Chains A and B, each alone.
Chain A
Amino acid sequence: GAVVSQHPSRVICKSGTSVKIECRSLDFQATTMFWYRQFPKQSLMLMATSNEGSKATYEQGVEKDKFLINHASLTLSTLTVTSAHPEDSSFYICSAGGQGSGNTIYFGEGSWLTVV
């Protein structure tokens, strides 16, 4: 089946720094990627929709200047958490769909971000 890979799986950063999380579709072209965050014991909340070659569409309440999303190719989207604060600590997970994914959305393994 289709595979989506996320990196890093765990990252610890200091307050005020920026951290980048990558999401790659390994065997299909992902015209659309999605970024979610999940707080402990809660559901996934969509942050933004990332379309290859265009600006991301952010959900209401998500700060676009804080969560920078870039989808420069059909196999890679990145989420950069800028000026991270402890409250940004969360589980971030991406998903991808597109040509070759058979109308199914596949998820990456997720990235645990801890801001200290």
Chain B
Amino acid sequence: GNSVTQMEGPVTLSEEAFLTINCTYTATGYPSLFWYVQYPGEGLQLLLKATKADDKGSNKGFEATYRKETTSFHLEKGSVQVSDSAVYFCALSTGNNQGGKLIFGQGTELSVKP
């Protein structure tokens, strides 16, 4: 079946450090891949997405590249800020343009210290 595996947290970094959160997936067909962020006490916000192989999603300094050969979608940011502290979820969707159900990884908590 379809699944998503993320690196375990919590991840603790100092401000301006480089961030990588690994995400690998197993899926039939050609899934769309997403990163969602959940700030404390809030719902999920879409951070970025990629819909086909070699696509790079980017937003707010975060990037992730859809790597079909390694079935990965690692999240990176060159210089994290305290405000980036949140839980990050990698997810995949196998739906069509009408929207598909999301399968989430377990989430990775990021804590950025000043």
Contacts and interface: CB of A to CB of B under 8 A. Distances in A.
Interface of A: 6, 30-32, 34, 41-44, 46, 49, 93, 95-99, 101, 103-110
Contacts of B99: 30-32, 96-98, 101, 103-105
Interface string B72-109: 00000000000000000100010101111111111101
A95 B107 CA distance: 17
Contacts, number: 63
B44 A32 contact: no
Contact of A44 (B32, B34, B49, B104): B104
16 contacts: A32-B98, A32-B99, A41-B109, A42-B107, A43-B104, A43-B106, A44-B44, A93-B43, A93-B44, A96-B99, A98-B99, A101-B99, A103-B32, A103-B99, A108-B43, A110-B43
Interface string B39-82: 00011111001010000000000000000000000000000000
B38 to A, nearest CB: 9
Contacts of A103: 32, 51, 97, 99
A34 B102 contact: yes
Interface size classification for chain B: 20 to 34
A44 B102 CA distance: 9
A26 to B, nearest CB: 14
Nearest to A94: B43
B102 A105 contact: yes
B49 A31 contact: no
Given A43-B104, A43-B107, A106 B98 contact: no
Given A6-B43, A43-B107, A107-B44, A99 B98 contact: yes
Given A34-B102, A49-B101, A109 B42 contact: yes
A104 B106 CA distance: 20
